[in-house]
Structure 1
Amino acid sequence: MAEQRDRLYGGGRNYQLRLRYGLSAERVDQMIAGQGGVCVICLRAEAKHVDHNHLTGVVRGILCFRCNGALGQFHEDPRCLGDAAEYLEYRGSHARRLEIVLGKTVYEGRARLDGASWPRRRQVPGSAREGHLIRKYGLDEKDVQRLLGLQGGLCAVCWDVPAEHVDHDHATGAVRGMACGGCNTGMGQLDDDPVSLRRAADYLLGRLVTSVPAAGGGTRLSFTVPDVDPATVPLDGWASHREADGRHRSRVWRVDDDHEGPTWLTLGLERLLGSYKAMAEERMASR
């Protein structure tokens, strides 16, 4: 079988790409080169993983491992990704609720018991879970239940799934709320970064990656505002472009309240029809 794959498809990688995505290894390499070698969502890591719509099979782009995984954790829901960005910036509905009830946008329990104060060999009073909550978050079980009560038992990000995990700011230690496993993991995979979250949401809506005229003729990809040619930026040179793009998307990013409203439905259909048209033209050209 290995010999047949090598003879018919040029190797195992080419075989797997054709089997799963209908792409050749050469075409994937061309797509990576067109992106300047960088993941179009985070603009930080190398593009290595083919991303596709699991419903239609249409290939959307080449991402890094973490961004590709984060889309799955958020169930490829752009509204949820956008809400996660607002949540991390303490300006979403959850932060407003905490400010109304508690007078601040974070939940504060007792002072955290860090490793210096409570070495692991010493036991914190209460159960093992209680000890973990106090050490890591400065919360006891009553604090957790109160926070869950403020959220109605649901995730503070998606408001769709029961909350299971205490979510906190890894830099300051401030507890932001209770999140479900998917939202908590998805935010972590995107480094708790609102810029990447909004870029991921626009990527799913078809607003991130566009084709623009190239300087030497033809077209090239564009995925930042202001626009920059990916071929002119080294892999470690995207920081300033990320910053400028993040400011822009923070100002303008919106999605209709209804997940299946005009914005979601229209953009999704336009992208799907455009992909089918491109596939049909490619097949006709190959005949």
Structure 2
Amino acid sequence: MKPLEEFARNRSRKSGVSTYCKPCHAAVCAENRARNHGSARNYRLKLRYGITEQQADRLLAAQGGMCVICLRAPASHVDHDHDTGLVRGMLCFKCNNGLGQFGDEVWRLEEAADYLEGRSSHSRSLWLEFDTPTIPGRSRRHLETLRGVRRASGLGSLRHYKLRERYGLTEAEADALAEIQGGLCAVCGDREPEHIDHCHESQAVRGALCVGCNSGMGLLGDDAGTLRRAAAYLDGSLVTAVPVAGGGTRLSFTVPDVDPASVGGDGWERVRGEDVRHRKALRDAAWEAEWCFGGPFADPFARAVVDGFAMGGAGGGVHGMRWARGEQ
């Protein structure tokens, strides 16, 4: 005998409560899942993603156990396309959530990578205004002149205090930065810029971002290489199936191509470094061609930016799903 509040609800019964109390109900459901599906994990995978536990393990092994985007953390989450329902691959927690913060939009990830490397339209605006793609201390004083105010003291509103404490900006300077951006996020240009973004190493302010872009970049480590790999992952060019000697295929997700099974625990950082350098070189070449050498937006300032970087300044999912199912 137990009080009614200790029983689960069941609308199909006249009494409105389940035959089992809540602990027993949970135990019976777990037993049924284990009997019908083998394990609770297998049940959840089939329910959410349409794959079995064995298929998920095969896909994880084909990736060498690593997240295919960052190549720095073990893959623990199944990622799928919310439109088609197809599994795209296995990711770590941060990369999986980072994609969600960017709305699974390739262009936003690419814009974020350009933003971090000082190549975006926002970076161009800062170059024209401050002769630098970020806002260090001297540039902050210039922000004050745009607002026509003197630098405020340490006293003021709570927002003023937090801005001074975290980023070295006053309220007037933060508002001036938002005005330069047209009142929109410096990355996506779609939403209100609610957060000041800064480099955690130099402490220089880079811009004002919306919640999604700010959180997404943080989850992906404020790393342009990871953002570009994430964009390639979403557009289907990162993960491919390549033939192997003796027949069959394996997954490939690095440039130059490396067999995931041949990479040891510490070897992924080297493989990742080569891949990121390759993708950056391709982006450098494309950006130079567009901005510096007769492109529609050719500009002398861009040549200086490129030189600064040279000196050290600032579908694949379908393949993964078919591979897991043994179709490739």
* Alignment correspondent of 1:186: 216
Give yes or no for contact 1:134–1:140 (8 Å, CA) kept in 2: yes
CA 1:88–1:274: 2 relative to 1, 3 Å: closer
Give the residue type in structure 2 aligned to 1:167: D
4+ residue segments displaced more than 3 Å:
108-112, 270-276
Give the residue type in structure 2 aligned to 1:252: L
Structure 1 unaligned spans of 5+: 113-122, 255-269
Counterpart of 2:258 (choices 228, 234, 246) is 228
* Alignment correspondent of 2:115: 87
Q: Please state if 1:5 is matched with 2:15.
A: no
Counterpart of 2:98 (choices 60, 70, 91) is 70
TM superposition score normalised by structure 1:
0.83
SS at match of 2:267: coil
* Alignment correspondent of 2:186: 156
Whole-Å Cα distance in 2 between the matches of residues 85 and 172 of structure 1?
Answer: 18
Give yes or no for contact 2:79–2:90 (8 Å, CA) kept in 1: yes
Q: Please state if 1:103 is matched with 2:124.
A: no
Counterpart of 1:43 (choices 58, 67, 71) is 71
Counterpart of 1:54 (choices 55, 62, 82) is 82
Structure 2 unaligned spans of 5+: 1-28, 141-152, 287-314
SS at match of 2:90: strand
Give the residue type in structure 2 aligned to 1:95: S
Aligned length: 257
CA 1:214–1:271: 2 relative to 1, 3 Å: closer
Q: Please state if 1:249 is matched with 2:279.
A: yes
Give yes or no for contact 2:237–2:316 (8 Å, CA) kept in 1: no
Measured after TM superposition, the shift of residue 4 of structure 1 is: 1.0
The two structures, once aligned, show a CA RMSD in angstroms of 2.5
Any idea what the Cα deviations from partners look like across 1:14-71, whole Å, max 9, x if unmatched? 1000001111111101100000000000000001100000111111000000000000
Q: What are the equivalent positions in structure 2 for 1:270-281 lying under 5 Å apart?
A: 278=322
Q: Larger radius of gyration, structure 1 or 2?
A: 2
Any idea what the Cα deviations from partners look like across 1:88-126, whole Å, max 9, x if unmatched? 1112111111110222211235799xxxxxxxxxx9311
Q: Please state if 1:213 is matched with 2:243.
A: yes
* Alignment correspondent of 1:21: 49
Give yes or no for contact 1:51–1:60 (8 Å, CA) kept in 2: yes
Whole-Å Cα distance in 1 between the matches of residues 72 and 267 of structure 2?
Answer: 9
Measured after TM superposition, the shift of residue 241 of structure 1 is: 1.3
Give yes or no for contact 1:45–1:235 (8 Å, CA) kept in 2: no
Question: Identity across aligned pairs (percent)?
Answer: 53
Give yes or no for contact 1:42–1:196 (8 Å, CA) kept in 2: yes
Q: Please state if 1:198 is matched with 2:228.
A: yes
* Alignment correspondent of 1:265: none
Whole-Å Cα distance in 2 between the matches of residues 129 and 163 of structure 1?
Answer: 15
Larger mean CA deviation between 209-218 and 7-16 belongs to 209-218
Any idea what the Cα deviations from partners look like across 1:145-198, whole Å, max 9, x if unmatched? 100000001000111111100000011100000000000000000110011100
Give yes or no for contact 2:198–2:204 (8 Å, CA) kept in 1: yes
Whole-Å Cα distance in 2 between the matches of residues 191 and 274 of structure 1?
Answer: 26
SS at match of 2:60: helix
CA 1:33–1:274: 2 relative to 1, 3 Å: closer
Give yes or no for contact 1:58–1:275 (8 Å, CA) kept in 2: no
